[in-house]
């Protein structure tokens, strides 16, 4: 990410990298109530 502002960076690539970075930086921790309500179904539907 340190080169994302480089003039050599393709604008389309830069935009996509920023989108990916946004989602990777988010806190995806489930709150306890949501975890309890959804855990069993999520395990059943897990795709390996």
Element (H, E) at 22: helix 11-25
Question: Is the residue at 39 inside a domain?
Answer: yes
In the chain the first and final C-alpha atoms are separated, in Å, by: 30
Question: Is the residue at 27 inside a domain?
Answer: yes
What would the pLDDT profile of 27-36 be if each residue is shown by its tens digit?
878 789 988 9
Fill in the DSSP letter of residue 30. P
- pLDDT beneath 70: ranges in the chain: 48
pLDDT (0 to 100) of residue 5: 84
Question: Is the residue at 30 inside a domain?
Answer: yes
For residues 41 and 35, what is the distance between their CA atoms, to the nearest angstrom? 10
Element (H, E) at 21: helix 11-25
Question: Is the residue at 3 inside a domain?
Answer: no
Name the residue range of residue 18's domain.
11-45
Structure tokens at 10: 């393709």
pLDDT (0 to 100) of residue 48: 61
pTM above 0.75, yes or no: no
Structure tokens at 27: 């806190």
């Amino acid at each position: 990410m340190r080169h994302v502002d480089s003039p050599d960076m393709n604008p389309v690539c830069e935009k996509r990298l920023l989108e990916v970075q946004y989602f990777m930086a988010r806190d995806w921790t489930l709150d306890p109530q949501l975890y309890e309500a959804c855990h069993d179904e999520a395990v059943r539907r897990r795709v390996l």
